[in-house]
Structure 1
Amino acid sequence: MSDFSERDKELLAMFDMTEEQVSADVAKMEDENADHGITGPVHYGLHMLPKSDEPMKSMTVKLPESQYERVTAAAKRYHISRSEYVRRQLAGAF
């Protein structure tokens, strides 16, 4: 069974691409150790460095459980902490 919807297949046809090409591209892009010029290796546990010597301050935020779970899931997808994910969201990085 194909992971591609009928709409996906229509779009692939518009660009003269095959499901196999897309699957190969996905595998290449998701390889966290590949240096293919689009993304670099993922370094677990590292966060974005502040752009200045300005000290960091802690802030507590209460979220509804469903939103907390979405933030947690998104952070896991990017292999970063929840705090880093929220910082990037606030900075408009995603």
Structure 2
Amino acid sequence: MSDDLSEHDKELLRLIGMSGEQVLADERMAESETIPDDLTGRVHYGLHLAPQDEQMVSVSIRMPRSTLDKLTAEARRYHISRSEYMRRKLAAPAG
């Protein structure tokens, strides 16, 4: 890992007291969709507020193409399906 870093990056890490290996470990935790972390907490798949034995049903909705494109882009950012992203948004507390 240290060999992949520029001298500038190494100096920045020294200033904040981190090693390249620590950066890699933090990156793995942040990118993982199964390891709880301070950024996202535990990741839930599906509509996690519903009872586990609840039957899932399909719902069709109409929305502007631009809204769908934004949802798709956000889902890709999190490396999850658009359907999963929409379930999470719908299950999130209002705020």
TM-score normalised to structure 2 length: 0.51
Would you identify which runs of 4 or more consecutive aligned residues in structure 1 move more than 6 Å?
none
Superposed CA RMSD in Å reads 3.2
Residue 48 (structure 1) aligned to one of 34, 38, 45: 45
Q: Percent identity?
A: 37
With over 3 angstroms needed to count, the CA separation of the structure-2 counterparts of 1:60 and 1:41, relative to structure 1, is same
Map residues 4-23 of structure 1 onto 2, 5 A cutoff: 20=12
Q: Which residue of 2 aligns with 1:78?
A: 78
TM-score normalised to structure 1 length: 0.51
Task: Return the offset for 1:53.
Answer: 0.6
With over 3 angstroms needed to count, the CA separation of the structure-2 counterparts of 1:63 and 1:53, relative to structure 1, is same
Task: Return the offset for 1:52.
Answer: 1.5
Structure 1 stretches of 5 or more lacking a match?
1-19
Task: Return the offset for 1:63.
Answer: 1.1
Structure 2 stretches of 5 or more lacking a match?
1-11, 35-43
| Mapped partners of 2:68, 2:26: distance in 1 | 25
| Mapped partners of 1:77, 1:30: distance in 2 | 18
